[in-house]
Amino acid sequence: MRNVITTSTSRSETWDWSKKTVLVTGATGFLGGALIRKLIDCGASVVGVVRQVRPNSQLYRDGLNQHVRIESGDVSNFNLMRRIFEEREFHAVFHTAYGADVNRVLNEPLECFRGNVQSTWQMLDLMRELQPRCVSVISSSDKAYGCQELPLRENKPLTPLHPYEVAKASQDLVTQSYGKVFNLPTVVTRCGNFFGPNDLNMSRVIPGTLERLSRGERPVLRSDGHSTRDFLYIEDAVDAQMLLAASILTAPALYGEAFNFSYGMQLEVIELVQRLIDLTGCQVTPVVAAGVKAEIPHLNLASDKAVELLCWRPSVGFEAGLKRTVAWYGDYFGADFSSIPYAGLRGDPASCA
């Protein structure tokens, strides 16, 4: 049994986000937007890197951009990032850029490598040179493990094959190197599939299914439906990222470490789609297209390390998160397929610790 680094109580007493300046890359993305909302709510001063203005992203649709210093450009642009680090001092960096659809990467692998790997080594080296006490949380992926025996634990080797897997594994290893060799306070997250409100990438199974159901159409599965996935509700993902940032500065043993965060599920895609159909009350059956290429068939993460070392516990969970998600998309699409009002499922505001 590992020793617990600290407790959530002690972290909340020593890490006041209202006194922190934070950089978030991928600010128009699903995770980036959710992080920025939470950081603003906690009173942090936020700088967001935006490669392309996306009016429909949470950052712009919810007006979060009005409370954020926007830096326009590509996170892999070295001169841009050097200027950003030279102009202000950061307490924390969340690198969430380029969480691309795995099929899209087959058509643009170099863009994927640049967005994930080049951006990471440049940013970490700038922090090594200019801001060595700035903590950073680098978002890798469960896909970095590749296809291997389950459950996936952090001590397993990374065995990627698909370009997206290779890019994420490379980003992961670069971060481990800078943490352990250069003593930089940086860590890696490997998470299950994010889901929740404000994910407008309709190529993903949950928003894509709910979009079709809102139009009275049958959901289309791009796989045979029997691949299994692990999941993490977006609010739980944000809490995990912020928990790590608050933990590592005073815990050098964590520098360069990787952490899994998920619910430890092996849920078949077709079962997930059926749950969504049941929650919406639609009377349809899914279409199995089975056209997907080169995806890992089964993923399942063990999060024991985060539980033992960080006292991590998800505050929402899968079932409640899925109900909140269905209700939010019902509102978003103007579809009357949820009898549970979204406002009633928010729960108490999460801690800013």
Coil, helix or strand at residue 116: helix
Tokens 């079962």 belong to 271
136/115 Cα distance (integer angstroms) = 17
Indicate the Cα dihedral angle 28, 33, 39, 40, nearest 10°.
80
As a whole number of Å, the end-to-end CA separation of the chain is 25
CB within 8 Å of 98: residues ≥ 6 apart: 26, 75, 112, 115, 116, 119
Q: Are 257 and 177 in contact (CB under 8 A)?
A: no
Residues in contact with 144: Cβ distance below 8 Å, sequence separation at least 6, in sequence order: 158, 160, 165, 168, 169, 171, 172, 190
Cβ-based neighbours of 265, under 8 Å, separated by 6 or more: 192, 228, 229, 230, 231, 300, 318
Question: Known catalytic residue: 164?
Answer: yes
Decide if 80 contacts 126 (C-beta within 8 A): no
Cis preceding linkage at 151, omega within 30: yes
**Which of 33, 35, 95, 39 is CA-nearest to residue 62?**
33
Nearest Cα to 101, choosing from 202, 206, 170, 24? 202
- Of the residues 164, 178, 233, 255, only one is catalytic, namely 164
Amino acid at 244: L
The whole-angstrom separation of Cα 31 and Cα 26 is 8
Q: Which amino acid is at 134?
A: C
Tokens at 259, concatenated: 């952490």
* Alpha carbon separation from 273 to 105, 197, 235, 277, 313 (Å, rounded): 24, 17, 21, 6, 26
Catalytic residue positions, numbered: 164
